[in-house]
């Protein structure tokens, strides 16, 4: 006997949840601040002194951890959070923008200004909310600096090239700016991005004193945020979600392990047309015409910690293959094994991009504010489910998405009274 669960949720089916009048404010809907600390592994608070994050556990919601989408990289994962779409659907398949025909490659920072990399039909929440009358802003959040079908985010600040990521005073100033947007300019939804602890995680590795130090700086910043919310009288009007895009792991190097260097197994010059490698644990190769089988065969059993997929073999639960930007051959290293192409030049001591089932790739979810329960510990869930939660909090009718409220609605103070209908049907 099989149990078939059919879920109908008000927020997915109808626009009736939307507030009617703008003049009277937004009815019962509060403002929302989404904060991302890039590369905040799920357990980073466990060996650091984090009084403010500890207090938030009592004052709000903590998930044991959350699972980012495959690929565990900054732009793909952030865009899943803000669109509620799998990577194969939103099309931001890498941190680097590339074209495997023209061989163009752009760095992550350059990509942040290029609409053609982000605007593939999946609408981020900023735009959907704006189209329903809300005022939204992005402060350094990936994808916030471009146009979607010609429409820009109401206010967007882009991270300048070579911007220092770890300046605590600037972090506080950024929080003050965002508080001003909420109180003086009546913004409804703001996304705020911080580049740490990702940078330190790459530079020193995740299991270092430097990483502990930056977590304590983040915790002080969260304390500053809590005070700022009080100072600006936003305690009863603002919900806050703090999350991240992926975790971090220590890179395994010689002589401890045999590193993966793909040029040992295949001749790039004669067999490949394009590759995206030397970027953590995930890579793609476009073989020269007629060489796909040869490349696949050469890599298939080349290294015990290397997994090779033909595009059509990529597991369904990666939600990755159905996108034209995914190249014919996809390669993945086991946890800690970076994919080096021609030479091993890689200087990073920590990295990500590995399988999202690995605990080191899991990340954080915290939330507090008037609509969140207090002292609520949530079971783990996929980060894709943050999107419908944000829509619910803002009273926005969601764009088509792959997330579900099923995993998050119990965090809300009115979670049990949500107009959600669950039918159980027994099938023999």
* Least spacing, CB of residue 408 vs Zn ion, in Å: 26
Residues 170-199 that bind Zn ion (CB under 5 A): 198
* Least spacing, CB of residue 91 vs Zn ion, in Å: 20
Q: Which is nearer to Zn ion, 11 or 243 (CB)?
A: 243
* Least spacing, CB of residue 72 vs Zn ion, in Å: 9
* Least spacing, CB of residue 337 vs Zn ion, in Å: 16
Cα 169 to chain centroid, rounded? 25
* Least spacing, CB of residue 93 vs Zn ion, in Å: 16
| 74 labelled catalytic | yes
Q: Which is nearer to Zn ion, 88 or 198 (CB)?
A: 198
Cα 357 to chain centroid, rounded? 15
* Least spacing, CB of residue 108 vs Zn ion, in Å: 9
| Residue 422 φ then ψ, to 5° | -120, 125
Distance CA 321, CA 311 (A): 6
Q: Which is nearer to Zn ion, 198 or 382 (CB)?
A: 198
Q: Which is nearer to Zn ion, 35 or 129 (CB)?
A: 35
Q: What is the DSSP string of 184-237?
A: HS--SEEEEEE-TTHHHHHHH-SSSHHHHHHHHHHHHHHHHHHHHHHHTT-TTT
Residues 198-227 that bind Zn ion (CB under 5 A): 198
| Closest residue to Zn ion in the complex (CB) | 198
Residues 318-347 that bind Zn ion (CB under 5 A): none
User: Is residue 360 near Zn ion by the rule CB under 5 A?
Assistant: no
Distance CA 18, CA 38 (A): 32
Q: Which is nearer to Zn ion, 287 or 353 (CB)?
A: 353
Residue 61's beta-bridge partner residues? 367, 376
Within 232-291, residue ranges assigned H as helices are: 268-271
The per-type count for the chain, helices as H runs and strands as E runs, is 13, 22
The dihedral through the CA atoms of 373, 379, 381, 383 has a sign that is positive
Q: Which class for 95: exposed (0-12), middle (13-18), buried (19 or more C-beta within 10 A)?
A: buried
Angle at 361 between CA 368 and CA 198, to 5 degrees: 75
- Give the closest residue to 364 by CA, choosing from 284, 282, 247, 269: 247
Q: What is the DSSP string of 39-97?
A: T-BTTGGGSS--HHHHHHHHHSEEES-EEPPSS-SHHHHHHHHHH---HHHH---SSSE
Tell me which of 67, 74, 80, 272 is the catalytic residue: 74
Q: Which is nearer to Zn ion, 56 or 200 (CB)?
A: 200
Q: How many residues bind Zn ion (CB under 5 A)?
A: 1
**Footprint of Zn ion on this chain (CB under 5 A)?**
198
| Residues annotated catalytic, as ranges | 74
């Amino acid at each position: 006997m099989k149990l078939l669960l059919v879920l109908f949720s008000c927020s997915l089916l109808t626009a009736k949840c939307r507030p009617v009048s703008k003049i009277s404010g937004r009815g019962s809907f509060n403002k929302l601040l989404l904060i991302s600390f890039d590369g905040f592994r799920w357990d980073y608070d466990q060996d650091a002194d984090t009084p403010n994050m500890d207090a938030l556990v009592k004052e709000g919601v903590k998930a044991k951890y959350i699972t980012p989408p495959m690929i565990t990289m900054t732009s793909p994962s952030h865009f899943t959070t803000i669109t509620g779409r799998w990577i194969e659907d939103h099309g931001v398949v890498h941190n680097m923008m590339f074209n495997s025909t023209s061989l163009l490659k752009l760095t992550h920072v350059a990509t942040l200004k290029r609409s053609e990399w982000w605007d593939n039909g999946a609408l981020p929440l900023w735009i959907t909310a704006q189209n329903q009358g809300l005022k939204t802003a992005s402060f350094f959040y990936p994808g916030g600096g471009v146009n979607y079908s010609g429409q820009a985010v109401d206010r967007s600040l882009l991270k300048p090239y070579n911007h220092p990521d770890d300046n605590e005073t600037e972090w506080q100033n950024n929080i003050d700016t965002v508080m001003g947007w909420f109180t003086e300019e009546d913004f409804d939804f703001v996304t705020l991005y911080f580049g740490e602890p990702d940078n330190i995680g790459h530079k020193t590795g995740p299991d270092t004193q430097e990483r502990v130090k930056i977590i304590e700086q983040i915790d002080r910043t969260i304390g500053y945020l809590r005070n700022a919310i009080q100072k600006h009288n936003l305690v009863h009007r603002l919900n806050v979600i703090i999350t991240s895009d992926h975790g971090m792991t220590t890179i395994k190097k010689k002589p401890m392990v045999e590193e993966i260097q793909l040029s040992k197994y295949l001749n790039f010059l004669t067999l490949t047309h394009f590759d995206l490698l030397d970027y953590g644990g995930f890579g793609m190769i476009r073989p020269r015409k007629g060489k796909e089988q040869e490349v696949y065969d050469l890599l298939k059993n080349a290294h015990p910690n290397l997994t090779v997929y033909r595009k059509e073999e990529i597991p369904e639960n990666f939600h990755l293959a159905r996108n034209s930007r995914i190249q014919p051959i996809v390669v993945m290293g086991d946890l800690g094994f970076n994919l080096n192409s021609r030479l091993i030049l890689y200087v990073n001591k920590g990295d990500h991009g590995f399988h999202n089932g690995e605990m080191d790739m899991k990340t954080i979810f915290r939330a507090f504010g008037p609509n969140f329960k207090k002292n609520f510990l949530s079971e783990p869930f996929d980060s894709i489910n943050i999107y419908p939660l944000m829509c619910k909090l803002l009273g926005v009718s969601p764009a088509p998405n792959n997330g579900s409220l099923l995993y998050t609605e119990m965090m809300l103070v009115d979670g049990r009274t949500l107009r959600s209908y669950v039918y159980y049907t027994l099938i023999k």
